Amino acid sequence: MSDAKLDLNGEQYELPITVGSEGEVGIDISALRNQSGAITYDPGYGNTGSCASSITFIDGEKGILRYRGYPIEVLAESCRFTEVIYLLINGELPTETQYRGFRESLTRHSLIHEDMKKFFEGYAITAHPMAILSSMISVLSSYYPEGQDEAARELNIIRLLAKAKTIAAFSYKKSIGQPFVYPNNSLSYCENFLHMMFAVPAEAYEVPEVLDDALNLLLVLHADHEQNCSTSTVRMVGSSDANIFASISAGINALWGPLHGGANQKVIEMLERIRQDGSDYKKYVDMAKDKDSDFRLMGFGHRVYKNFDPRARLLKKSADKVLAQLGVTDPLLEIAKNLEEVALEDDYFVERKLYPNVDFYSGIIYRAMGIPTNMFTVMFALGRLPGWVAHWMEMRDDPKGKIHRPRQIYTGETERAFVPIESR
Ligand code: SDX
């Protein structure tokens, strides 16, 4: 494809074109400022490619999501989360031998250092689990300093993947005043997490298969999503050569925002508000359309998906199945379905191509599983962890990689004379 041509201030510049494996076209502007003195301007990076990546492909118009070329629908149906972790990080699905060794490594590193338990004594009982998760992941760097070779980096990545679920479960036990339940090496990743969450010392607890399968699906569906806000944050922080724990801790904090991963908690709070208001969902659809109202339909809309979010479609189906298997009826599910139905026939949402996103139904399932609302974004973070790690590695292994440092268009004061305070 021939270069792009830019006419600027009477000069013409030729900009190289890069084409991705799915045919996306990118205009390479890396030399633009040196050639023309101008930069591009794209607040929120909606039209800017920050990198080339081979990890995840999304086609927002067609509702396509693939990890390393495999459609999300196939992975959700056929894979355990640990298999997807291996795929995202290594680029290929594991052989049986590779998979056995990988799972064994994750199991063997699930414990956190006994001294780390002392941090939990300092958190307020009301501490948000995302605050605990991001700080404890950062603290891991003080127990496992960054190694200088590939084996040391790989071991710290295994430690991170294995210990995050333990820290998450411990933060829940702390919030309900129950003793920590340690990891059990005879359990799978999902069973182990659920066991640490819901087992109590006084009685045996066997993880119900329906919970194990539901959690597995949720984690697989959240595992990666190309250059979203938190993943771009991990890449940005990692580009300064910050260690993996510090980079991931930054990603956790970015995910916490209600416009991003924090939306799953906000969706349930919104549905609960509508339920308490007589389930008058049409009133809230109108409020979401009213520019004078600050109300947004949480769990709706997406920067990339301008058609359905394939994850929302799978989660909507799973919500019906999980609630039926658990014998749970949740009025919030009916309100969610009614909201979706009304919104998808309303011009405001249709014109803006606003559809349910991954956060719209996930909270209904977490709720039915007995996971508290303030843990929902932690669950999103546990799912997204392998994606963050895969992108951090891809960025760090890029031979042309450099520290991320965007430019700006300055709109402040031009130079002016200083006036001493006594004369102001
Ligand atoms: C995630 O990027 C990723 O991939 C993220 C994610 C992942 O897996 O990592 O998919 C996970 O973060 C999903 C999104 C979760 N957030 C929410 O559900 C919060 C509610 N949604 C919105 O705030 C919004 O849709 C965003 C933040 C998701 C996207 O925002 P954009 O792309 O910046 O779009 P915008 O805010 O510019 O909205 C465009 C128009 C505006 O109206 P106009 O100015 O054109 O009149 O759509 C309106 C917005 O007011 N709009 C909404 C709306 N979302 C957008 N109006 C009502 N309710 C909404 N939810």
The residues annotated with a catalytic role in the active site are 302, 359
Name which residue sits closest to atom 13 of ligand 1, judged by CA: 260
Output the pTM of the full model.
Answer: 0.96
- CATH number, domain 72-256+373-397: 1.10.580.10
Name which residue sits closest to atom 54 of ligand 1, judged by CA: 301
Where along the chain do the CATH 1.10.580.10 domains lie?
72-256+373-397
Distance 250 CA to ligand 1 centre (A): 22
Which amino acid, 338?
Answer: N
Contact call for residues 286 and 348 (beta carbons, < 8 A): no
Please name which of 284, 398, 336, 310 lies closest in space to residue 77, comparing C-alpha atoms: 310
**Correct CATH for 263-369 of 3.30.200.20, 1.10.230.10, 1.10.3720.10, 2.40.110.10:** 1.10.230.10
Q: Tens digits of per-residue pLDDT, 304-359? A: 999 889 999 999 999 999 999 999 999 999 999 999 999 899 999 999 999 999 99
Atom of ligand 1 nearest to the CA of 58: 4
Where along the chain do the CATH 1.10.230.10 domains lie?
263-369
Please name which of 2, 33, 36, 34 lies closest in space to residue 16, comparing C-alpha atoms: 2
pLDDT in the model for residue 137: 98
Q: Is the pLDDT of residue 201 over 90?
A: no
Pocket test for ligand 1, best of 259, 285, 286, 391 (most atoms within 8 A of CB): 259
- Whole-angstrom Cα distance, residue 400 to residue 236? 15
Pocket test for ligand 1, best of 58, 66, 231, 260 (most atoms within 8 A of CB): 260
Q: Tens digits of per-residue pLDDT, 255-282? A: 999 999 999 999 999 999 999 999 999 9
Mean pLDDT along residues 365-391? 97
Atom of ligand 1 nearest to the CA of 360: 18
Q: Which DSSP string corresponds to 347-360?
A: HHHHHTT--B-HHH
- Percent pLDDT > 90 in the chain is 97
Q: What residues does ligand 1 touch, defined as CB less than 6 Å away?
A: 225, 228, 259-261, 263, 288, 296-304, 352, 354, 357-359
Alpha-carbon 12 to chain mean position: 41
Distance 265 CA to ligand 1 centre (A): 15
What band does 235 get if pLDDT is binned at 50, 70 and 90? very high
Alpha helices in 68-206 (DSSP H): 72-78, 81-90, 96-108, 117-122, 129-143, 150-175, 189-198
Distance 144 CA to ligand 1 centre (A): 38
Pocket test for ligand 1, best of 234, 303, 359 (most atoms within 8 A of CB): 303
pLDDT in the model for residue 1: 84
Distance 158 CA to ligand 1 centre (A): 34
Where along the chain do the CATH 2.20.28 domains lie?
4-59
Distance 398 CA to ligand 1 centre (A): 31
The architecture that CATH gives domain 4-59 is Single Sheet (2.20)
Packing angle between helix 281-289 and helix 331-344, nearest 10 degrees?
Answer: 50
Q: Is the pLDDT of residue 172 over 80?
A: yes
